[in-house]
Copies of this chain bind each other. A is one copy, B any other.
């Protein structure tokens, strides 16, 4: 099918994002999206299960993260392997060329509770995939879950920073910094602060 519909999924995703930004998510139909992309409605449903799904691009991100974790050097700790996954996201998804698209997509999602729900479920599913990828490296179950959750948090923090227009650092740099900060925070959240000198006497 790709032969007569080159980049159909990508064209549909771009058309959808344009229409959602222009006229709102609720007022855009699948037919509108297909027409804008110059494709038939049936093409849409060959690529996406419903209107929401066009913003969530199938399993690309999932494969990217799990592959990066799988191919990290065997000596890497769970969090170091997760760091490789964030590097891959920076190389392939959160690039300067895709920056504007990513920001528009985030704005469309933020404006619509239905889309926020889909996004929330997708994000749980990415964390679950990272957990499984870590387990396949021999990381024990709970450690894998903790490392995947901390990686997801670092990624969320890095996306927030990367989205700020004032910030022009590369995603990979911001993600590494966020992972580092998350590790520091993780140590401090379970350790009691020393009693201040004034309270000691």
Interface residues on A, range: 35 or more
Residues of B within 8 A of A60 (CB): none
Are A153 and B149 touching (Cβ within 8 A)? Answer: yes
State whether the Cβ of A59 lies closer than 8 Å to any Cβ in chain B. no
Contact with B along A105-146 (1 / 0, CB 8 A): 000000001001110110110000000000000011011111
Are B186 and A186 touching (Cβ within 8 A)? Answer: yes
- How many copies of this kind of chain does the complex include? 2
Stretch in contact with the other chain, from A38-46, A92-100, A187-195: A187-195
Please measure, in the bound complex, the distance between the C-alpha atom of A185 and the C-alpha atom of B135, giving whole angstroms: 13
Q: 11 extra interchain contacts, Cβ-Cβ under 8 A, other than A120-B124, A142-B185?
A: A75-B195, A78-B189, A78-B190, A80-B192, A117-B120, A142-B181, A146-B186, A146-B189, A147-B189, A149-B150, A150-B189
Question: A-side interface residues toward B, CB under 8 Å?
Answer: 75-80, 113, 116-118, 120-121, 123-124, 139-140, 142-147, 149-150, 153, 157, 181-183, 185-186, 188-193, 195
